[in-house]
Amino acid sequence: MKRLRHPRLVHLAAIAGSVALIGSTAACGSSDAGSSGSTGSGDTSAKVDSIAAMVPKSIAQKGTLTIAAATYPPAVIEPANGGTPTGWDIENVNKIAAVMGLKVKIKIVPFNGIIAGLQAARYDAATGEIYATPERTATVTFVTNHESSDALMVPAGSKITSAGSETDLCGHTVAALLGSAEAKLASGLVSKCKSAGKDPITVKTFDSQASVNLALRGGRVEAAVSSASQVAYVMSQAKNQFSLIELPWAPKYKTGLVLGRDGDSAKFAVAVKAATDHLIENGELQKILDKFNEGQGLIEKAEILPASTG
């Protein structure tokens, strides 16, 4: 039976417990990792001929998609020993590609260069809990498979004990990943603090999530904002060192496979959507989220965003 569940911060303790079982350590830097496109046993990720026939010839003839991803556990987990990346978004894209009769090559890159790389056709697609924002959908196309929300991570014993209002973070120093929706969210608080007559917020950005987390651990910032699942993952790996603060005013975002735009991308997006819907319907994408993310975030049906790219 298909289970459709959306992210709820009330489940984060369970998320932290489950991802602790992964036992992987995220690493910084860039690397290439090949993948066969198969992530599990059985035939549920086997090629579906009717969907594979939808893939443009220019892509089908290549046979392998080059997928950009930034290390962002538990969506993208790069083992410290340089092994093959895993995580729920990596397994999602492998399953989706397999249904289309394609293989996947993951290229770990800095997050801030992903959208530009897609626009320059350096990659066929990108993944890694990338939020579909209006700024991004103006230049690239998303085929959604997941919904995410943000949370704040603070050191245990922090003076920041809640953030029920946006201005609760005024007067504090907050870190975020360079080029991320979280960085924009935090930067947007600057004017709100000024308008409220409160002490200014200081926003510091870093070029990798690992650097964000290290800055928080080293006391260079007071808090870090990232996806709720990423916060839970870090908490599971660093027992009793951090606390999670809910951000009820933060928006929820749809995420999924991100495609650059060329003559075949609109047609390819339709094939990706069909493959994604197939795996939502047969429960395979839910199984991956159960494994890495306490089952949270699956959407009922894939969407192509924007709905029309011309």
For the chain, give percent helix, strand, coil, nearest 5.
35, 25, 40
Count of Cβ atoms closer than 10 Å to residue 160 Cβ: 17
Kindly state which CATH superfamily the domain 9-148+253-305 is placed in. Periplasmic binding protein-like II (3.40.190.10)
pLDDT at 14: 45
Predicted pLDDT at 308:
64
Nearest to 28, CA basis, from 91, 89, 111, 88: 111
Q: Report the alpha-carbon distance of residue 18 to residue 243 in Å, rounded.
A: 17
pLDDT in tens, 57-83: 999 999 999 999 999 999 999 988 878
Q: Closest Cα partner for 68 from 123, 149, 131?
A: 123
Single-letter amino acid, residue 121: A
Which helix (H) or strand (E) segment is 243 a member of? strand 242-246
Res 236: pLDDT: 84
Domain extents in the chain: 9-148+253-305, 149-246
Rg of the chain (C-alpha set): 19
pTM: 0.82
Q: Which pLDDT does position 33 carry in this prediction?
A: 55
CATH number, domain 149-246, options 3.20.20.70, 3.40.190.10, 2.70.180.20, 3.40.50.1100: 3.40.190.10
The CA distances from residue 273 to 180, 189, 266, 305, in Å, are: 24, 35, 11, 11
Domains 9-148+253-305 and 149-246 belong to one CATH topology: yes
Q: 27-54 pLDDT, tens per residue?
A: 333 455 544 333 333 334 689 999 999 9
DSSP H helical segments within the chain, as ranges? 12-19, 49-52, 57-60, 88-99, 114-119, 134-137, 181-187, 189-195, 209-217, 228-237, 265-281, 284-293
Q: How far apart are CA 268 and CA 100, in angstroms?
A: 10
Structure tokens at 198: 């409160």
- Distance of alpha carbon 227 from alpha carbon 16, whole angstroms: 13
**Max Cα-Cα span within the chain:** 61
pLDDT tens across the length of the chain (310 residues): 333 444 444 444 444 444 333 333 333 334 555 443 333 333 346 899 999 999 999 999 999 999 999 999 999 999 888 789 999 999 999 999 999 999 999 999 999 999 999 999 999 999 999 999 999 999 999 999 999 999 999 999 999 999 999 999 999 999 999 999 999 999 999 999 999 999 999 999 999 999 999 999 999 999 999 999 999 888 888 888 999 999 999 999 999 999 999 999 999 999 999 999 999 999 999 999 999 988 889 999 999 999 865 4
- Name the token pair of 36: 């066969």
| Cα distance between residue 132 and residue 138, in whole Å | 10
The β-bridge relationship of strands 64-69 and 31-35 is unpaired
Residue-level pLDDT at 294:
80
